[in-house]
Structure 1
Amino acid sequence: MEETKAHSSSVRLFYFWTGIVATFTYRAIIILNNYSALWVKVFWYIGTVGFVIYFAHRYQISEKRARLIKESGLVEKINGLPELNQTDREAMKYIFGTLTTSKEKWNYIAIFVLSGLSLIIGLYLDIF
């Protein structure tokens, strides 16, 4: 089974702020369009690189959670916990079940791939 240790606080803050900065720079482009094409490109590149980093990380986290739930058999073990009432069991089954079957990882993959392709195309168009 894979190690379950969480990333350090500084690593988590890095990914958090990477996502915030990427989102902000994309939103700022609409304003910068009225002022400077150079700043539009700068903010677009910052946002796109940020999204590549952030969504690659989110995909890894999503995969790790689903894998740990399945490998540990947590959904099956819920029924054996006597201190849980039926409502608690159903809530935990729902949480674990949706974490393992969620389509969020496909969203992360799509954003990662499309951001990467946009970055490559953008670099090509700006250089050539």
Structure 2
Amino acid sequence: MVNKNPACKTCSAARECKDTAVSWFFLFLGLLATLAVRLVNLLLHVGQFWVKLSWYIGVGGFFVYFLYKYEQDRRLRMNLQKARIAEKLYARDKLGAEDYEFLSGLLCRLKSRKDAINYFFIFLSSGIVLALAIYQDFFRP
């Protein structure tokens, strides 16, 4: 997890650095899947084809998105075990330069704008679709 780009050594500098096209692809895939799953209930009134299409896009998108996220987290766990960061911290051992870079990268990752965008979109779209579904199911003439 050591950052290979020397221009991206701090969290504030990392914001100026370009994210990979792959990471943006998976962000948009996650957002699309989120929206598709939330539209299923609203599309019940439109037609079965649209319900199924939305469901498959949503569930298929989530499948691929979470497979990607799982692999990222698995690599992070492996790197944490390999570097023995937790053991060094508990034992109050001296950390090396690579340990500090690793921890800095990890902390920057926790401040990810893409994760914040994803969480906000999930929250907002859930609220909007929930309100629309309640209106459609209980108040629509």
Gaps of 5+ in 1: 83-91, 96-128
- Quick one: distance in 2 between partners of 1:4 and 1:30? 44
Q: Can you list the C-alpha shifts for 1:29-65, whole angstroms capped at 9, x where unaligned? A: 1110011111111111111210110011111111111
Alignment coverage as a number of residue pairs = 82
Where in structure 1 do 4 or more consecutive aligned residues deviate above 6 Å? none
Residue 77 (structure 2) aligns with: 66
**Residue 28 (structure 2) pairs with residue 50 (structure 1):** no
SS in 1 for 2:59: helix
Identity of aligned residues (%): 26
- Quick one: distance in 1 between partners of 2:69 and 2:47? 32
Residue 25 (structure 1) aligns with: 36
Q: How does 1:34-49 map to 2 (within 5 A)?
A: 34-49=45-60
| Higher relative contact order (Cα pairs below 8 Å, separated by 6+ residues) | 2
- Quick one: distance in 1 between partners of 2:57 and 2:22? 19
Residue 86 (structure 2) aligns with: 75
- Quick one: distance in 2 between partners of 1:4 and 1:16? 22
Amino acid at match of 2:45: N
**Alpha carbons of structure 1 residues 61 and 49: separation in structure 2 relative to 1, 3 Å:** same
Q: TM-score, normalised by structure 2?
A: 0.51
Amino acid at match of 2:44: N
CA-based RMSD: 2.7
Q: TM-score, normalised by structure 1?
A: 0.56
Gaps of 5+ in 2: 5-18, 96-102, 107-141
Amino acid at match of 1:50: G
